[in-house]
């Protein structure tokens, strides 16, 4: 069970990526939290492309941890299981070229309870699990729409951005792996 099983138990859309890392779970999660866009070559161009026409660009400061930037950008912390998992989420209207409205919530319960029509709720995690003398690092994204119209609009958007979204997630995992496996 992950925190996402409680936060978005029945997603309309989802994606999962993982890789094995030769390091302890604590070291791997710390590396994933600390990974920066400068370590993920695909992130900055994809964020810049998505930000065209938007009221505000997606975060892509090269030397600041991406997770911290996402939280400052408008994502909400949805909880953490120390040394095992961190979850964040955003409530917005991603399909709108302008970026639409973003709703900041106080935590997982507010996120789950939000049901105003016209939005999607996207939750993602970074999770570590001991495996074969190392660690399985996984990221999962789950999206649920607050109404059928938003589900259809986001579905069209998702078909276009999903490949890039996957590239970003896999790039993040690879950056964490490189960090975690570096000699101390």
Answer whether residue 59 shows pLDDT above 80. Answer: no
- Indicate if the alpha-carbon torsion angle 63, 65, 71, 75 is positive or negative: positive
Average pLDDT taken over every residue of the chain: 91
pLDDT-based confidence at residue 142 (cuts at 50, 70, 90): very high
Residue 144, domain extent = 3-181
**Distance between start and end Cα atoms, the chain:** 32
* Alpha-carbon 131 to chain mean position: 23
The CATH number assigned to the domain holding 26 equals 3.30.530
CB contact at 8 A, 171 and 40: yes
Q: Picking from 8-17, 34-43, 132-141, 170-179, which range would have the lowest pLDDT averaged per residue?
A: 34-43
Number of domains observed in the structure of the chain:
1
Residue spans of beta strands (DSSP E) within the chain: 13-21, 76-81, 85-92, 120-131, 134-145
Q: What is the pLDDT of residues 99-122, one digit of tens each?
A: 789 999 999 999 999 999 999 999
pLDDT digits (tens, 9 = 90+) for 144-182: 999 999 999 999 999 998 998 899 999 999 999 999 999
* Confidence at 129, pLDDT banded by 50, 70, 90: very high
């Amino acid at each position: 069970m992950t925190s996402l099983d409680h936060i978005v138990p029945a997603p309309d859309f989802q994606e999962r990526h993982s890789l094995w890392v030769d390091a302890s779970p604590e070291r791997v999660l710390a590396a994933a939290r600390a990974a920066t866009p400068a370590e993920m070559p695909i992130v900055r161009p994809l964020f810049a492309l998505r930000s065209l026409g938007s009221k505000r660009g997606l975060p892509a400061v090269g030397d600041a941890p991406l997770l911290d930037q996402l939280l400052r950008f408008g994502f909400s912390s949805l909880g953490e299981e120390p040394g095992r998992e961190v979850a964040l989420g955003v409530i917005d209207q991603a399909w709108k070229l302008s970026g639409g409205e973003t709703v900041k919530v106080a935590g997982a319960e507010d996120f789950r309870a939000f049901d105003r029509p016209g939005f999607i709720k996207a939750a993602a995690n970074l999770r570590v699990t001991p495996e074969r003398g190392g660690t399985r690092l996984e990221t999962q994204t789950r999206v649920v729409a607050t109404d059928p119209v938003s589900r259809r609009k986001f579905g069209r958007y998702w078909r276009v951005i999903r490949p890039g979204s996957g590239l970003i997630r896999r790039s993040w995992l690879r950056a964490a792996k490189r960090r975690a496996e570096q000699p101390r």
